Amino acid sequence: MRQHCKLGAITLVLAGCAPAPGAAPSPAAPLTLAEVRAIPKVDVHAHYERADTVNLGALQSWNARSVLVNVLTDNRLLEKGENMRAVAAAHPDRFYLVTTFDPRPIDDPSFAAKTIERLRGEIARGAKGVKVWKTVGMEVKDARGRYVQIDDPRFQPIWDFLTEQRIPVLAHIGEPQSAWLPLDTNDPHYGYYSTHPQYHAYAHPEVPRWEAIIAARDRWVHDKGIETRRIPAAEVLGNLEGVLCGIVAQATARLPLHHPASPDGPPPRGDLGEEL
C-alpha cells in the first residue's frame, strides 16, 4: 500500500470534541492513551483480501473500522471483490466495502448498462461506495486511441445510477505532479515511482499532462455550465493522494472547507506528502 500522501487514510471521528457555539476555547489537557484508543476511527483506504492479513486485535483495541477498497490493478477484479466481501462478512462490525468497475470496455454500446447491472448486484451484497482509479485518465484508451477521462459522457449513466442509489464515489484521478518530473531522491514520492515505473508519467510522454487530467476531474465535479451536472447529487470523495498531492494550495482551493495553517506552526512545505 502506498505510504505517501495518505490524506484521510486515518480519519478520527471526534464527535462531541468541538466546543459549543459561542463558548470560549479552553486549554485542553493531553489525552490519555485510553482516551485516544476510545475515539472512534475509520481507516478509509485498505486492501485486505484475506482474513489472515487483518490485524483484528489492533482494530478492536483502537476502536477502529476499515474501508475495504477494490481497484483495477490487474485482471483479478472480481476475485479481489469476492475476497474482500468474505472478509467483511466475517467481521461486519469492522469493515465497509467499496467496489469498483472496469472502464476498459467503454466502447461497448452496452458498457453502461452492464456496469450498472453489476454495480446493482454489488450494492445489494453490501457495497457502500464505488472507487474510480487513476487508470481513467492515465491508462484506459478508447477504440480511437484516445485516453478516456473521468468526464467522458459515456460514464454519465453510471453516475446517474449512483446518484439515484445515494452511493458515494471515491475518486483517485491522476497522480501527484512529481509523476511528470524526473525522479528525485529528495521528492516524497520517489519511493513509489522508482518501484512503480508504469505510473511515472515522465517516462511515458504519451500520457496526458497532469493539467489535462485535473481539468477533466474539475469539470466532472464542478462544471455548472452544462444542463445537468456530471454528478447532480452524488457525493464525490476526492482522494487527494492521487489528485493534488503536489501543491497544498491547489488542494485547499478545491476543498469546500479547509482549516488555515496555524500562525504558530511551521511554514507549509508545499507538498501534502511532506505535510502529513
Q: Which pLDDT belongs to residue 236?
A: 58
Report how far residue 236's alpha carbon sits from residue 228's, in angstroms, rounded to the nearest whole number.
Answer: 16
Q: What is the model's pLDDT at position 15?
A: 34
C-alpha cell at 26: 479552553
Tens of pLDDT, residue by residue, the chain (276 residues): 443 333 333 333 333 344 445 555 556 789 999 999 999 999 888 887 776 777 788 888 999 999 988 887 777 777 888 888 888 888 888 999 999 999 999 999 999 999 999 999 999 999 999 999 899 999 999 999 999 999 999 999 999 999 999 999 988 899 999 999 999 999 999 999 999 999 999 999 999 999 999 999 989 987 633 333 444 444 555 544 444 444 444 555 555 533 444 444 444 445 655 555
Rounded (10°) CA dihedral 255, 123, 103, 214:
0
Edge to edge, what strands does the sheet with 127-132 contain?
10-12, 41-46, 64-69, 95-100, 127-132, 169-171, 236-238
Cβ(133)–Cβ(172) below 8 Å: yes
Per-residue pLDDT at 273: 57
Kindly list the structural domains of the chain, giving each domain's residue range(s) and its CATH number in brackets, ordered by start.
35-275 (3.20.20)
